[in-house]
Amino acid sequence: MAVKIRLARRGRKKLAKYDVVVADARSPRDGKFIEKLGTYNPLTVPATIELNDEKAFQWLMNGAQPSDTVKAMLSYRGVMLRKHLQIGVVKGAITQEQADAKLAAWVKEKEAKIQAKRESVSKSKMDSAKARKEAETKVKEARAEAIRKKAEVAAAPVAEAPAEGAAENTEA
């Protein structure tokens, strides 16, 4: 029996969420599965991946084949690197301590990159909101100025007309 780690869709139209599942390769996409490993939400920035790394690693070491998307997710989370390092340990190329140190360093670096991405996204959102507010304030001030000038123009001829009449009376 060929076992695959793949995505099973759920959620409504245009708001898809996915479950990461281990299933028989012959079963349908949203059909029967062996075990659920986590969830994937591609609509957030960056995409939200909640995955049981230990279970995914165990299934990979037992021979489960990930789909292309799941393989990219596992690489993103470091599970594929862990598998690669573990195979090196099994073959005797490196020790378990060296493999664990390499994986820990990679995970630390990756977390820093992810945090920087989140901060840049939130900063860009705040900057765009600030720019929109400033533009809105400028438009509001321009409208207020136009209304003020219009009121001055409307009030000026009314004030000048009686003043001119009063000046003519004083001359006579």
Q: What is the pLDDT of residues 39-86, one digit of tens each?
A: 999 998 888 999 999 999 999 999 999 999 999 999 999 999 999 999
Bridge partners (DSSP) listed for residue 65? 4
The token pair at 168 is 């003519």
CA distances from 97 to 103, 110, 131 (A): 10, 20, 51
Distance CA 36, CA 39 (A): 8
Selection from 62, 72, 13, 80 nearest residue 40 by Cα: 72
- What are the domain boundaries of the chain? 3-94
Quote the pLDDT of residue 33: 95
The token pair at 38 is 């986590």
pTM of the model: 0.72
CATH placement of domain 3-94: 3.30.1320.10
Distance CA 6, CA 60 (A): 12
